[in-house]
């Protein structure tokens, strides 16, 4: 986890709020592919982005790694982009924030276990 303070500074990151950390840990504990999220994973909170969540896969020292970036847009990004979701984007929703995290965790699970 990158907290963006002290020595854990990554360009364009910001600090996590206590509510966001609670939602993150709750999502990690409930994720359906939890057993496949067993590689080196790092979460970074970005203030802005053209995306709600972004997963960056890589290999460091022969080990698969995953960076998950979560932006402010995660609070307003519904899981399905349908006509009915247009008005949902006006209000910050914890479920959308968690849905974004779960979506990016799924990318990580597939990266760690492509089989």
Q: What confidence score (pLDDT) does residue 85 get? A: 62
**Domain residue limits, the chain:** 18-112
Give the angle 9-15-16 at the CA atoms, nearest 5°: 130
Residues of the chain under the 50 pLDDT cut: none
Q: What is the pLDDT of residues 33-66, one digit of tens each?
A: 989 988 899 999 988 878 999 999 999 999 999 9
Q: What confidence score (pLDDT) does residue 8 get? A: 55
Q: What confidence score (pLDDT) does residue 98 get? A: 95
Give the CATH number of domain 18-112; options: 3.30.70, 1.10.3470, 3.30.960, 3.30.2010.
Answer: 3.30.2010
Let me know: does 100 contact 27? Beta carbons within 8 Å.
no
Tokens 């057993």 appear where? 35
Q: What confidence score (pLDDT) does residue 89 get? A: 63
Q: What confidence score (pLDDT) does residue 54 get? A: 94
Q: How far is CA 76 from CA 50, 71, 85, 87, 89, in A?
A: 12, 10, 10, 10, 5
Q: What confidence score (pLDDT) does residue 48 get? A: 82
Dihedrals phi, psi of 52, to nearest 5 degrees: -85, -40
Residues 6 or more apart in contact with residue 5 via CB below 8 angstroms: 15
């Amino acid at each position: 986890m990158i907290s963006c303070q002290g020595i854990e500074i990554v360009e364009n990151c910001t600090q996590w709020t206590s509510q966001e950390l609670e939602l993150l840990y709750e999502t990690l504990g409930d994720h359906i592919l939890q057993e496949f999220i067993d590689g080196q994973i790092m979460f970074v909170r970005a203030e802005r982005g053209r995306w709600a969540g972004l997963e960056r896969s890589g290999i460091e020292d022969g080990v698969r790694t995953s960076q998950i970036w979560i932006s402010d847009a995660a609070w307003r990004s519904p899981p399905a982009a349908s006509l009915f979701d247009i008005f949902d984007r006006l209000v910050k929703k914890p479920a959308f924030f968690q849905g974004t995290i779960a979506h990016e965790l799924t990318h990580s699970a597939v990266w760690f276990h492509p089989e």
